[in-house]
Amino acid sequence: MLGTRHQNQSRNADGDSDVDEFSAPLLIDNDPDSRIQHGSIRVCTSRFWFNYRHIANTLAIYRTVKRLGIPDSNIILMLADDMACNPRNKHPGAVFSHPNHEVDIYGDNVEVDYRGYEVTVENFIRLITGRVMPDTPRSKRLLTDDKSNILFYLTGHGGEDFLKFQDAEEINSYDIADAFSQMWEKKRYNEIMFMIDTCQANSMFSKFKSPNILSIGSSRVGESSYSYFHDADLGLTVIDRFTYVNLKYFEDIDMQSRSSFSDLYSTYDTKIIKSNPGYDTRHFKRRFDQTLLTDFLGAVAKAEITEKSYPLQRNITRDTSKTGSNTAKVRCGTASVGNAIMYILYHICLLALILLYLCATCFFFNNGV
């Protein structure tokens, strides 16, 4: 038993002790930042086999945030296609982001919340603004509040001020800016980190006006976002350059890391990425070099043991007490009634079977069968 037992005991009306008191230490968190809830939304908007790398981008980031402590219950994963089960996949049930095939980023415990044709602009907007249908299951809802730090990661094909969904519709920068404005008014976030890997990605956060949003994109207006690592087995590329550079840095951090976004940004090599990433802190209250990656990528439970205590009471039921006696009588009475009912039903069923047998015998006898 955790805690120290007090010597004093309370007495009931008969003078017998029926309650033991214990004291237990309280777990108190004095760090206000640790009360922040972490959420994560991963969206791959591309389908078709030749866009394999976009699925791999999303799953690789998904795997990273899970490793850093964010549970699946706080992650919304949207994949516009199922590459793991695609008939062209030489490795059924697996997805790789590197041609060495050492790490299956699809794995055995991936939880896809929106799949295939569920990944639409409408569902995305409904999800983040909280305007989902009443019958939407809990796993497909973004259950955040004004204490939530949310990481958005989007990847796919896009252009200046737009991102394609399913190669059939588009979401533009104004749509996302308006959705974030609704989120802020509805107190659905504390801070947002918006990361996007697509062509002309930086244009997608140019219209943001809501407070507490930090944005990072893979390319300037007029620039493309390029793929990396061609896999001869699969016959296509398996990851994008910008996402690869980020993942390479993320793999070296843990939940206790003090690395900032400034540290991450300093590792961006345009010779590898082949584009010019950008970031936007216009509406973010904290400095770029003082904002930790784990403020969005990870979740750490912090607790402090204190000597303060509170009483724990344990009731001791005595056979000689009136309460215990009455309880026993009620239980016995209930059991007796139940047994009697079962006994009567049994004999009724038995009698019915006998009558049915007799009727059948008479019928066959009279008809000469």
Number of helices (H), then strands (E), in the chain: 8, 16
Q: Which residue has the tokens 């896009």?
A: 158
- Residues 201, 273, 293, 107: what is their CA dihedral angle, to the nearest 10 degrees? 90
The CB density around residue 3, as the number of other CB atoms within 10 Å, is: 14
Q: Considering only CA atoms, which of 173, 165, 223 is closest in space to residue 203?
A: 173
Residues 6+ apart with CB under 8 A from 219: 198, 199, 200, 201, 202, 225, 242, 275, 276, 277, 278
Sign of CA dihedral 158, 160, 162, 168: negative
Q: What region, left, alpha or beta, does residue 70 occupy, with left being phi > 0 and alpha being psi -120 to 50 degrees?
A: beta
- Which residues form the catalytic set? 157, 199
Integer angstrom CA distances of residue 48 from 55, 59, 80, 111, 220: 10, 16, 9, 20, 26
